[in-house]
Structure 1
Amino acid sequence: MIQQINPFARGYYGFEIRRVAVISYDDRHPQTFVPLHPTQHHLPDDQMALHACIFNEGYALVTEHQVIPGDLDVSCSGSGTILAVFYSIYGKDVEGALIHLGDSQTREFAQEVVRTLTFETGFYSRCWEISTAHITDEAGRFLCELADIATPTAFLFVAFRIPYSPAIGIKLIATPWTDINLQQVEGTTATDLRAEHRAKGVPEELIDVLHLAGQADVRMLVLDADASILEGLPVIEEEA
């Protein structure tokens, strides 16, 4: 099954916080936002804000009370004043592109925003409820049989019944099911795990659903005939 975008993927990941100088240099042009040159990363915010600077498209250098090497001086064609210091928050979207999410006036607040947006497995994980229309009847029976026995841990998922409901729950283990994480936690890869599932007789359509969920760091997955169809995930149409 070929997927351009994982339908289970949500939100942002791979967050970065970048300190940038907000520079005013010409009343006819908007302010510009650039980071400090690495040689001045040690400067605290109060030695940047309201201080004169030189800059180019890649970095800025505070000139007030600072000694600027000649090669860096000639590399900067602009000059102005740092009006403020911002902490810009970036995150990767579901397609892997790094997106500017917003700015904060303090590093602490930016870190709190990132903490709020971050899904941490073991603390705050993704739980999904989707329709059983995404798996075959055979796969549904397979899950029911697994739920009635002790699912082998090598599966890296556990099926369980939900009392007073025909729905079946699945707890995925060692997520996300990416090569990097699986290698660190289980000494395997996503490809090898898929092959292991095939070897153990897991139906192919169920493997596809589980691996998409696992890649997106889904921790709990509930399959229910009354649940909604997940847009972007194939619906299985079986002959009556």
Structure 2
Amino acid sequence: MKSTTQAPAMLGASGPFVRGYDNLSIERLLLITYANDYPPCLRSVHDSQTHLPDNELQLFACLFNDDFALISEGQSISDDLDERCQSTGLVRQVIYAVMGEMLNERHHLGDLYSLEEAQAAVHRLRFETGHYSRAWEISTAHLTDKALRHLESRVGNVDSRPTGLLFEPFALTDCNGIGCKLIGTPWTDGNLMKIEGSPYSSLRQEQLDAGTPEALVNVLYLAALADVRLLIFDPDATALDGLAIYDEIATRST
């Protein structure tokens, strides 16, 4: 009988391995005031006016709707666009918003007041010299004894072939740890459809059907979802907040 267990639910809006943002970008927005007793609003510049420099946007009258704004002072606006904008206001400030993604959710990270400042912030956040938090060392307490012994049997078997399950265990001969190389990360449905032609649920079922203990499948999923590539389990490492800890503390057999 095939297992029908489900992938572990994510903790809130993120997971225990998630530390950075993906797909960082910059959006030029207009801070608009429009009516007494109403807070300012932010709108993007309509495509027809994206060529305008900041000094031809800031402190100019505008038309806007829920989706975009158009500078009305000194600019030609088509009747069609004019009819789509029901509100009028004044552009008080041009803002460069830094945006990022975490687990496929879009986040507004902060605002800067020039393109150069925003580009510098994105450069620092991207860690241009490499990828952030793609190697982790966590406690073996996050695995059941069955799960740890499964990994040990894989690396201890000289005849063991690659799993073909998008993870490969490896031994750390100088310590009591054991590692996993994760392949094809992140294990999101979208990415796995591109490289495997099937969603994560199919990979999960393949791993379970191949005898991979569920505790191991769960922790590998959470790590791979955060684009971790190397995951090391060590009895001397600290536990990771937000990750399941089992009553039977997994230790290496002696």
Distance 2:172 2:241 in 1: 24
CA pair 108-200 structure 1, distance change in 2 beyond 3 A: farther
TM-score normalised by length of structure 1? 0.81
Q: Quick check: 1:143 aligned with 2:151?
A: yes
Is the 2:144–2:249 contact (alpha carbons within 8 Å) kept by the matching residues of 1? no
How far is the alpha carbon of 1:97 from its aligned partner?
5.0
Could you tell me whether the CA contact under 8 Å between 2:140 and 2:249 is conserved in 1?
no
Q: 2:169 aligns with which of 159, 181, 185?
A: 159
Within-5 A mapping of 1:1-240: 2-5=8-11, 6-23=15-32, 31-73=40-82, 75-80=85-90, 82-93=91-102, 97-118=105-126, 123-148=131-156, 149=158, 151-152=161-162, 154-238=164-248
Q: Deviations over 1:44-65 (max 9, x none)?
A: 3343234343445543221233
1:203–1:31 Cα change, 3 Å? closer
Q: With structure 2 as the length reference, what TM-score do the two structures score?
A: 0.77
Note if contact 2:31-2:95 (Cα within 8 Å) is conserved in structure 1: yes
CA distance in 1 between partners of 2:35 and 2:215 (Å): 60
Counterpart of 1:59, as a letter, is F
Q: Which runs of 5+ in 2 are unaligned?
A: 1-6
Whole-Å separation in 2 of the counterparts to 1:198 and 1:24: 57
Paired residues, what number? Answer: 237
In the TM superposition, what is the alpha-carbon distance from 1:193 to its structure 2 partner?
Answer: 1.4
8 Å CA contact 1:167, 1:225 repeated in 2: yes
Moved more, 183-192 or 173-182: 183-192
CA offsets per residue over residues 141-196 of structure 1, 9 Å max, x none? 22122223455051221212223210111111110111221221233331221222
Query: Are the counterparts in 2 of residues 119 and 126 from structure 1 also a CA contact under 8 Å?
Result: no
Give unpaired runs (5+ residues) of structure 1. Answer: none
Partners of 2:62 and 2:72 within 8 A in 1 = yes
C-alpha contact (below 8 Å) 1:151/1:158 kept by paired residues: no
Query: What is the alpha-carbon root mean square deviation over aligned residues?
Result: 3.1
For the 8 Å contact 2:96–2:118, the answer to whether it is kept is yes
Give a deviation string over 1:205-237, Cα, whole Å, max 9, x none: 111111121122111111011212222222222
What is the rounded CA distance, in whole Å, between the counterparts of 1:110 and 1:151 in structure 2? 48
